[in-house]
Structure 1
Amino acid sequence: MSSPGVTPVTPVTDASERSRRRQRSARLSVATALLGLAVLVVAGAAAAGAVLPLVLAGAAAVVLGAAATRITYAELVQSRRDANRDRAEQAQAYRRLAETRSSEHADDLDRAVARLSVEIAEREQSLRDLEGALATVQRQAADAQRGLTAANRRADELEAEGRILVASLDAAEERASTAIVRLAELEQELDVLRAELDTVTAAWHAAEARLGQRKHA
């Protein structure tokens, strides 16, 4: 991944390419001119009909053809050299570009790894905080459950004590009712005893009065 500021390297500039093309075109034009001149020389000698000019024209045509061939061969060799040099420069440029992009990619990867490491550390810290909060809530829940159990047990104990107190109160009320009834019975018996005592006392006083009357008589 390349950054926006990086520009690709151009392997061969347009100016050097145009210069080589002009040189190649000039050499080929010279070779073509030499071949044309050889043709004209041979044609002129053939038109003259003499043997010597024809031989000289043939020799000149051979020389001119050899020169044209030499120029063409040299141009071909130079073209191959230029092509090889261009490919080498292009390969070097592409290698430099690949190294630059690889370095940028490595930098981007390092930044991404660093960012992910920070995010992982933050997530782990958040997880530890949540685990701590969960442990605290669990302890609070356990304490609340123990308190609720103790409160339920105390409520059961108070309820049992209440039932005992109610039973005791009922028994006390029953004893009080029995005592009231017994008191009324005792009061009634006391009234009877008092009536009997009054009767006995009255009879005793009457007997005592009769006895006194007998003594006086």
Structure 2
Amino acid sequence: MSSPEPQQSHAPRSAARRRQRSTRLSVAVALLVLAALLIGAAAVAGTVLMLTLAGVGAVLLGAAATRITHSELAAARVEAGRDRAVQAAAYATITERRTSENMRFALDMQRKIAEREEIIAGFELALNTAQRQLSEQTRKFNLEARRADLAEDNSREAADAAARLEASLGQSEERAAEAIVRVAELEAELDVLKAELALWQVTASKRNTA
């Protein structure tokens, strides 16, 4: 888009040209009126000489008026062409700027989407690890539970061993509960990240379509 100073300087020049054009057209009209008055005066006089002089004068005045009008029409066409060229250049600049803005927006959205996908991949890996840990803790818990059941069936001499197994069972149960909480947290964070990613992808698609 052209700068404000050229536009402001172009406006006074256009106004000055319009005033000059109006003045010149007024002169052309005045010449035609004068030619008509000469013809009328010669007709009233009724002499051949006056009619001849009036005819010659009318022709010259009409030619001058025609020349002035033709010059003004040519100047108007040139000015209109110049204005159209300025407008076309301004529109081209606007289009180029909008295209550049759209490209920057698309690149920024692609970068954000790539970063978000990388974060989601990390969370998915952490979730898989937590799920494996939960499975392992669950297996250990079940094993300790079976050992505790077997220990309870043994004689009183195995009471100490059963107590140790009970303590180990409590620890396994606590670790399993912690793993369950961690898995739930990771799943919630992963759902939020996937929702943000979907929103960004829809926004980028709409912007590119526009």
Identify whether the pair has TM-score above 0.5, normalized to the shorter chain: yes
| 1:153 shift after superposition | 4.1
* 1:91-137 deviations in Å (ceiling 9; x for gaps): 11110111012112212222222222222222222222222222211
Which position in structure 2 is the counterpart of 1:148?
Answer: 145
Equivalent residue runs for 1:91-110 within 5 Å: 91-110=88-107
Aligned mates of 2:2, 2:30 — CA distance in 1: 42
1:37 to 34, 37, 44: 34
Aligned mates of 1:17, 1:135 — CA distance in 2: 79
Which position in structure 2 is the counterpart of 1:163?
Answer: none
TM-score (structure 2 length as normaliser): 0.64
**Structure 2: tracts of 5 or more residues without a match:** 156-210
- Counterpart amino acid of 1:112? M
Aligned mates of 1:103, 1:22 — CA distance in 2: 41
Equivalent residue runs for 1:1-217 within 5 Å: 13-156=10-153, 158=154
The alignment yields a C-alpha RMSD, in angstroms, of 2.6
| 1:90 shift after superposition | 0.3
- Counterpart amino acid of 2:27? V
* 1:127-164 deviations in Å (ceiling 9; x for gaps): 222222222112111221222233334445x38xxxxx
* 1:160-202 deviations in Å (ceiling 9; x for gaps): xxxxxxxxxxxxxxxxxxxxxxxxxxxxxxxxxxxxxxxxxxx
- Counterpart amino acid of 1:37? L
Larger radius of gyration: 1
**Identity over aligned pairs, percent:** 39
Aligned mates of 2:78, 2:27 — CA distance in 1: 20
Aligned mates of 1:47, 1:41 — CA distance in 2: 10
Is the 1:9–1:97 Cα contact (8 Å) retained in structure 2? Answer: no
